[in-house]
């Protein structure tokens, strides 16, 4: 990537860290054993896999047997919601609760519950993108199997009060799941004191490869496996374990936690610098969720009179790489379901850009990105000549 390119899509994915790649490489070649094999190659792989599980658990404040490896955040979300619901329905609980601003993995999992004979409930959202706790509480009763709320929204960066939502859900006897894909490394937490039952993380958001994630499953929580065919991971997730990627995830988790405080301070400084620079030049810019608690690495903004798809293409041509929202929509730039649930007017929502900061950014690049965006927005609004 040339030095002129400014990558502002870290919420979509991050580059694999050098330390992560170096830790993984031996397990692709000389150390290739199957951890289920009883010979020494297999035993060596088993030790490495168990060590990776131990290390990830330590970063979460969990027990090693509470860490279940998955292929990604989407699989973890599906397992957490559908697996927990299938187990709980045997005890007469047939409803799931979530919010309309979740990642599509959770929303689709809730819809699957309905197809299997259950029911879905969705709590109301404020105009700032915060879950209405009264609406959430009203949806928690003795029919609720599992509740799920994303800790940090992947489009707006708005932070939910997961401890409070968890307390309410669990007081009704339900299980609580949170998608912490954007929260891990941005919000300090310890699962020894946070009583969520299920928590999702994803490797490629924190410098590990695409294709590895994990689901925290608290001891005693029942889940029905989504797949069948083997006894791996205590029967919860059959299939030969991906040893090199598990090692990569463990390395990335450790580095992320070690660097969290300093990194978040830098991310916040860049986000505020970017927003201030754009706001000074375009006072009518709309920062979505600006009045709510937000994670430091994401800003979602609309400049009235502009179109997101046009701006994104023009930015790309100038070496500025951003997105129109979630990166999980097949590359399309359409009406965001998150902004729609927040009550954002369609003409404003269609102009929304997500800018997310990370390891590839510095202040000079942030300034350049803001200035280019302002120039393009002014041109789109006819305020400057071509």
Q: Which residues are the active-site residues?
A: 328
What's the confidence (pLDDT) of residue 334? 66
Q: Which two tokens stand for residue 304?
A: 């009235």
Max CA separation in the chain (angstroms): 72
What's the confidence (pLDDT) of residue 17? 98
Q: Which two tokens stand for residue 172?
A: 């009704």
What's the confidence (pLDDT) of residue 36? 85
pLDDT tops 90 at residue 381: no
What's the confidence (pLDDT) of residue 384? 53
pLDDT tops 70 at residue 326: no
- Rounded CA-CA distance 350/366 in Å is 23
- Start-to-end CA span in the chain (Å): 28
pLDDT tops 60 at residue 289: yes
pLDDT tops 50 at residue 330: no
Average confidence score pLDDT of the chain? 94
What's the confidence (pLDDT) of residue 78? 98
Within 13 A of 168's CA, how many CA atoms are on the CB side? 21
pLDDT tops 60 at residue 3: no
Query: What's the average model confidence in pLDDT over 265-274?
Result: 98
CA distance to 3, 94, 228, 241, per residue, from 363 (Å): 13, 50, 49, 41
pLDDT tops 80 at residue 331: no
Long-range contacts of 325-330 (CB under 8 A, 24+ apart): 325/155, 325/300, 325/352, 325/354, 326/103, 326/104, 326/154, 326/155, 326/354, 327/9, 327/11, 327/12, 327/13, 328/74, 328/103, 328/104, 328/105, 329/104
pLDDT tops 70 at residue 120: yes
pLDDT tops 80 at residue 75: yes
pLDDT tens column, 176-187: 999 999 999 999
- Rounded CA-CA distance 184/136 in Å is 24
What's the confidence (pLDDT) of residue 333? 56
Domains, the chain, ordered by start: 6-14+260-380 (3.90.1150.10), 18-255 (3.40.640.10)
What's the confidence (pLDDT) of residue 55? 98
Give the pLDDT band (50/70/90) at residue 386.
very low
Are 373 and 25 contacting, i.e. CB atoms less than 8 angstroms apart? Answer: no
What's the confidence (pLDDT) of residue 233? 86
- Rounded CA-CA distance 139/133 in Å is 10
Query: What's the average model confidence in pLDDT over 216-221?
Result: 97
pLDDT tens column, 154-212: 999 999 999 999 999 999 999 999 999 999 999 999 999 999 999 999 999 999 999 99
pTM listed for this prediction: 0.95
Name every residue whose Cβ is closer than 8 Å to that of residue 280 and which is 6 or more positions away in sequence. Answer: none
Q: What is the DSSP letter of 131?
A: B
Are 357 and 8 contacting, i.e. CB atoms less than 8 angstroms apart? Answer: yes
- Rounded CA-CA distance 186/379 in Å is 35
What's the confidence (pLDDT) of residue 1? 45
Give the pLDDT band (50/70/90) at residue 54.
very high
Strands (E), 2-45: 6-7
Helical (H) or strand (E) element with 70: strand 67-70
Give the pLDDT band (50/70/90) at residue 332.
low
What are the residues facing 286 on neighbouring strands?
Answer: 302
- Per cent of the chain over pLDDT 70 is 96
C-alpha dihedral sign at 214, 233, 228, 97: negative
- Rounded CA-CA distance 249/235 in Å is 21
Place of tokens 């060590």: 51
Q: Which two tokens stand for residue 259?
A: 């660097």
Picking from 236-245, 253-262, 294-303, which range would have the lowest pLDDT averaged per residue?
236-245
- Per cent of the chain over pLDDT 90 is 89
* Residue 40 burial by Cβ neighbours in a 10 Å radius (0-12, 13-18, 19+): exposed
- The residue that leads in pLDDT, 233 or 82, is 82
- Rounded CA-CA distance 61/15 in Å is 26
């Amino acid at each position: 990537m040339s030095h002129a390119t400014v990558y502002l899509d870290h919420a979509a994915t991050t580059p694999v860290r050098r330390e992560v790649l170096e830790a993984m490489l031996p397990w692709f070649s000389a150390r290739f054993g199957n951890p289920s094999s009883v010979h020494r190659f297999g035993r060596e792989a088993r030790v490495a896999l168990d060590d990776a599980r131990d290390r990830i658990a330590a970063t979460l404040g969990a027990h090693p047997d509470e860490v279940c490896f998955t292929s990604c955040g989407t699989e973890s979300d599906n397992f957490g919601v559908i697996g927990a619901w299938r187990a709980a329905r045997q005890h007469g609980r047939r409803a799931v609760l979530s919010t309309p601003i979740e990642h599509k993995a959770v929303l689709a999992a809730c819809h699957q519950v309905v197809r299997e004979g259950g029911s879905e409930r969705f709590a109301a959202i404020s105009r700032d993108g915060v879950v209405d706790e009264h609406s959430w509480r009203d949806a928690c009763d003795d029919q609720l199997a599992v509740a799920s709320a994303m800790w940090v929204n992947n489009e707006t960066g708005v932070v939910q009060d997961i401890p409070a939502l968890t307390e309410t859900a669990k007081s009704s006897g339900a299980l609580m799941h949170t998608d912490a894909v954007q929260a891990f490394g941005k919000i300090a937490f310890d699962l020894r004191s946070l009583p969520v039952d299920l928590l999702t993380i994803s490797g490629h958001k924190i410098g590990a490869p695409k294709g590895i994630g994990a689901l925290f499953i608290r001891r005693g929580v029942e889940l029905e496996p989504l797949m069948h065919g083997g006894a791996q991971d205590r029967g919860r997730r059959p299939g030969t374990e991906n040893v090199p990627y598990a090692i990569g995830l463990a390395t990335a988790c450790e580095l992320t936690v070690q660097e969290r405080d300093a990194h978040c301070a830098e991310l916040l400084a860049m986000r505020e610098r970017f927003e201030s620079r754009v706001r000074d030049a375009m006072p009518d810019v709309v920062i979505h969720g600006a009045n709510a608690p937000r994670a430091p690495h994401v800003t979602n903004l609309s400049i009235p009179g502009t179109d997101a798809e046009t701006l994104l293409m023009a930015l790309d041509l100038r070496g500025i790489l951003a997105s129109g929202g979630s990166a999980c929509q097949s590359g399309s730039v359409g009406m965001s379901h998150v902004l729609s649930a927040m009550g954002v007017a369609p003409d404003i929502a269609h102009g929304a850009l997500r800018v997310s900061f990370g390891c590839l950014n510095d202040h000079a690049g942030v300034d350049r990105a803001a200035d280019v965006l302002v120039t393009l927005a002014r041109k789109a609004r006819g305020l400057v000549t071509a």
